Amino acid sequence: MKKNLTSLWQKFFGDSVRAFGVVGLIFLASMAIAPSKNFFSEWRHYQRAYLRTIRNRSDANTLERHFQGGIQQIWLPALDVVDRCTTCHVGLKEASMTDVATQPFRKHPVIPHNLDQFGCTICHRGQGAATNVAEAHNSTLAWEQPILPAKYIESSCGQCHRGALPGTPQLNLGRSLLARQGCVHCHTVKLPEGSTMKAIDDPPSLSHIADKTTREWIFAWLKDPQAYASTATMPNFQLSDENARDISAFLIANSTPVTDDTLKVSVKPSSDPAAGASLYGESFCASCHAVQNAAGNIVGGDVGPELTRIGNKVKPEWLQGWIRNPRIYDSGTAMPHYRFTDAQVATLSGFLLAKTDSDFLSKVHLDPATSEQIAHGKRLVSDYGCASCHEIAGIKKPENFAPELSHIGSKPITQLIFLAGMKHTLPDYIAGKIKQPRAFSPGLKMPQYTFTPAQIDALTTALLSLNERSYTLSASLAVPAVTESDYQPAGKAGKLMSDLACFSCHRINGHGSTMAPDLTWEGSSVQREWLAQFLKNPGTLRPALIRRMPRFNLSDSEINELTDYIMTVYQNPNIDRDSMPLSGYPPGEVELGKQLFYGKYSCQGCHIVDTKTDKGYIGPTLTHIGSRLTAPWTYQWMKNPQSLRPGTMEPNRAMSDEDARALTAFLMSQTGGKQSPVAPKAARKPSPRQEVATK
C-alpha cells in the first residue's frame, strides 16, 4: 500500500519538470471552473431559452435587436434598489410578449408606473441583486425577503399611497377593516406620516348597560356574539361559563342609571305588525340596520346593529326611550333623533320587540351574583382589555394593551413562531394569526374573529404595507391620504343637524358619510321652497335607490332654521344664484333643449322627463326639476358635473355654452305642470351670459 503511494508520488512529482507540469495542469483545470460555472449559470440558460422562444416569432428581428445579453441591472440609488431581475425576465418591456404563457418571458402587465423608475423589488420584494432563481425568489438562509405572493401585491402600493386608490380595492378594504373592526383599539398602528390610526367604529358605553339589557343577554352575548347577530363586530373571547357569568355580574353591578325623565315616558307597545313594518320601511331604518330574513340573508345597512333578535336584547322601556330620542342614552350616537309621536313610538317599539328568537335565552339561568363573582368579573374585564373598546365606569382604558403593529410588514422571520405545517413566511404568519389567534398559544388574549378569507387577505395586505420602506421613504414619494375634516356646522342649525345626525348619511365640507348626496353646495343647487317642502315630507328623487331620506316630523320653525342655514352657508362661490332666471326662456331655446335632450345627448337613457315615454332609471327623475334646481346650477352641471360633485356618475359631455343653455331652458320648463313661482320677475332678458369657472 505504502509502496504504491510512493510510486504514484514518484510518477507525478518525481522530478521538478514533472512536478511543474502536473501542478500547472491542476491550476489550469481549477481555473477553468470559474468560466464554466459562468457558462452553465441559470441566467444564461434563460437568456438562451428566450432567444430560442423569439426566433420563430414574426417580430423576431425587433425582439432580437432589443435583446441585451449579460447581466442586466436597474440601479436606483435614491430608492436603494439594485434589481437584476431583467437579466432573466427578458421580455418584461416587450409589448408583443403579452401572449407568452411561459415565465420568465412574459411582458409585465400594465401598471401605472414605469419599471425603470421603480425597479422590481419595491413592489414584488425578493432579492434584487441575486442572479439565480432560488436566491431571487425564495427565502433561503441568506435572505429574509421572499417574493411577495401576487394576492398581497397591493400592499406594495400602500408603501407610498397612504390613502385609498381606485386600483387597490383590497388594500382599501384591509385598511378600513383595521379601523372598523376594532383592531386599532388594542393594537397601536403608527402610520408613516406620524399620526396614529384611529378606530372608526363606535363600541357602546357599558356604564349604563343595566338600563338597556339583562344580565342573561350579556351572558349569552359574551359566550357567542355571532349567535345573537351573525353580523356582530364584537369578536368571540371564548370565555368559560364561569367567566361569562362573572363578567356579566360585574357589568350589571357596575352600571348606573341614566337619569332623565324623558326615558321614563312609556306607552304601551302596539301589537300591529303591519303598521310597524310600514313605519320601519317609511323611516328607512333598513338604510342603517340589517335584519336576517327567512331565507337567511342579511338585508339592510351596516351602520347600526343588526336587529334580527332585538326583542331578546333590549328592555321595552329602554327601547321606547331610545326610539324617542337616542341622544339621551348616547349623546354621540349615529342614530338620528326622529321626533316620533307617542303613537309612532308605540308602533315601532311593538314591531321591534316582536323580533325575538324564543330559543335564544331559554338555556341561560343565572343565580344572583355574589360579591366574589363581581370582583372576579372586574378582574377579568381588566385582563381581557374590555375597556380598550368600551367605556366602562371605574375602569381606565388600558394603554398599549396589545403589541404595536407599526413596522409589522418588516418583522424578521426569526422573531416569529410558526404553527406546525405552516409556511414560514411573514404573510402566512400574519394571515394565520388573524384567522386563528388562539391556535398560537392557548394563553393568548386575542379573540376569535369571523373574517372571511377575502377579509383576512385584505387585512394581511394592509399590515404588510406597514414595512420599513414605507417609514423611511423620501417624503417626495409619499402620496398622503385625504384626511377627514372635523367640520361642524355652527349655531342653532348646527345643533339641529347633529341632533338629526345628518352626517351619518350626508357629507359636507369633507366630513360625513357618503351614503347620501354631498350637501356642500346644496344652497346653490336647490330652490328654497323645494328644500323646505322636502324637509317636511321627503319624496323620491332617485327611483332606483333603496336608501332614501327619512321623514323626521320636523316643526315649521326647525325647517325654517335648517333651510335658512343651508341656503345661506352651503353656497358654491362660483355660482351666482341670480345670474339665470327660473323661467322666461324663449320657446325656441326650450325646443332646442328638448331636441338635444332626446337626440344628441339622449338623456332619456338615464332620466325621465315624460313619464309616458321615458324609462331611464339611473339618474333622478326630472319631471319637476324646474321647481327643484336653480338654473345656474343646472347650467354648470351640464357644463361639468364633476366640478360640482366629484365622482358623480353623470358623464361630462363637454357641452358648448349654447347647448348647456338650451338644455337648462328645457329642464327649467319641467315644473310638473306648476307655474314657476318667480315667473314675472324672470321675464327680463337673461343676459349677460354668466361664465362659471370650471375646475
Partner 1 sequence: MNRCVLVMAMSFVFLAAGCSPKKESSAAKPTAFGVAIVESSGGKQFAETGALLPQPLVVQVNDEQGNGVSGALVEFAAPAGVSLDPAYALTDSSGQVTTNVSLADMAGRYHIAASTFDKSHKKVEVKIEEIALGYQQRLGRRLNEQYCDRCHNPESTVERVSNFDNLEVKPHPFAEGDTLNNMSDSDLNAIITYGGAAINKSALMPAWGNTLSKADIQALIAYIRAVSDPPSRAAGPFYENK
Neighbours of 647 (CB within 10 A): 9
Using CB under 8 A as the binding rule, whether residue 491 contacts partner 1 is answered as no
How far, in Å, CA of 334 to CA of 331, rounded? 9
**Interface with partner 1 includes 649 (CB under 8 A)?**
yes
Q: Give the range of 77-85, 86-94, 602-610, 627-635 binding partner 1 by CB under 8 A.
A: 602-610
Among 98, 195, 595, 656, binds partner 1 (CB under 8 A): 98
* 52 sits near partner 1 (criterion: CB under 8 A): no
Residue 642 found at the interface with partner 1 (CB under 8 A): yes
Choice between 110 and 420, CB closer to partner 1: 110
Euclidean distance between CA atoms 233 and 225, whole angstroms: 8
Task: Quote the radius of gyration of the chain (alpha carbons, Å).
Answer: 35
Q: Is 599 in the site for partner 1 (CB under 8 A)?
A: yes
Task: Give the side-chain half-sphere CA count within 13 A for 399.
Answer: 0
Stretch that binds partner 1, among 58-66, 192-200, 331-339, 594-602 (CB under 8 A): 594-602
Reference 571, options 532, 521, 525, 637; nearest CA is 521
- Give dist(CA 341, CA 551) in Å, integer: 12
Q: From CA 629, how far away is CA 523, in angstroms rounded?
A: 10
Print the binding letters for residues 609-638 with partner 1: x by CB under 8 A, - otherwise. ------xxxx--------------------
Give the C-alpha separation, 558 to 607, whole Å: 33
49 versus 191: smaller Cβ distance to partner 1: 49
Q: Which three cell numbers stand for residue 619?
A: 339618474
Minimum distance, C-beta of residue 483 to partner 1, in the bound complex (Å): 23
Name the DSSP letter for residue 125: B
Considering the complex, state which of residue 394 and residue 651 has its C-beta at the smaller distance from partner 1.
651
Binding-site member from 367, 654, 674, 695 for partner 1 (CB under 8 A): 654
599 grid coordinates: 337626440
Q: Which CB, 151 or 190, lies closer to partner 1?
A: 151
Among all chains, which residue has been given the C-alpha cell 353656497? 571
Q: How far is the CB of 428 from partner 1 (least distance, A)?
A: 13
Helix (H) or strand (E) holding 298: strand 298-300
For residues 168 and 670, which CB has a smaller minimum distance to partner 1 in the complex? 168
Q: Which of 233, 415, 371 is nearest to 306 (CA)?
A: 233
Considering only 516, 551, 652, 677, the residue that binds partner 1 (CB under 8 A) is: 652
Tell the burial category of 138 from Cβ atoms under 10 Å away from its Cβ (0-12, 13-18, 19+).
middle
CB of 95 to partner 1, least distance (A): 12
Give the CA count within 13 Å in the CB-facing half-sphere of 436.
Answer: 9
The reply to whether 601 sits near partner 1 by the rule CB under 8 A is yes
Least gap, CB of 109 to partner 1 (angstroms): 4
For residue 103, state whether it binds partner 1 (rule: CB under 8 A). Answer: yes
Question: Under the criterion CB under 8 A, does residue 35 sit at the interface with partner 1?
Answer: no
Member of 18, 66, 600, 689 binding partner 1 (CB under 8 A): 600
Q: Is 149 in the site for partner 1 (CB under 8 A)?
A: yes
Cβ–Cβ under 8 Å, residues 478 and 467:
no
Phi-psi label, residue 111: left if phi above 0, alpha if psi -120 to 50, beta otherwise = beta
CB atoms within 10 A of CB 126: 20
Please give the biggest Cα pair distance in the chain: 131
Report H helices in 526-656.
528-536, 556-569, 587-598, 631-639, 641-644
Looking at beta carbons only, is 460 or 520 nearer to partner 1? Answer: 460
Q: Could you give phi then psi for residue 165, rounded to 5 degrees?
A: -115, 145
Among 258-266, 372-380, 414-422, 593-601, which window interacts with partner 1 (CB under 8 A)? 593-601
Nearest CA to 633 among 569, 572, 680?
A: 572
Residue among 101, 141, 294, 475 that touches partner 1 (CB under 8 A): 101
Number of residues binding to partner 1, judged by CB under 8 A = 44
* Site pattern 438..477 for partner 1 (x: CB under 8 A): ---------------xx--x--------------------
646 binds partner 1 per the rule CB under 8 A: no
Q: Which three cell numbers stand for residue 553?
A: 316630523
Cα 416 versus chain centre, distance: 29
What is the nearest approach in angstroms of partner 1 to the Cβ of residue 439? 18
Q: How far is the CB of 149 from partner 1 (least distance, A)?
A: 5
CB atoms within 10 A of CB 47: 20
The stretch among 48-56, 98-106, 343-351, 371-379 that binds partner 1 (CB under 8 A) is 98-106
Q: Which is nearer to partner 1, 460 or 671 (CB)?
A: 460
Point out which residues bind partner 1 (CB under 8 A).
Answer: 37, 40-41, 98-101, 103, 106, 109-112, 149-153, 166-167, 169-170, 299, 453-454, 457, 544, 546, 599-602, 605-606, 615-618, 642, 649, 651-654
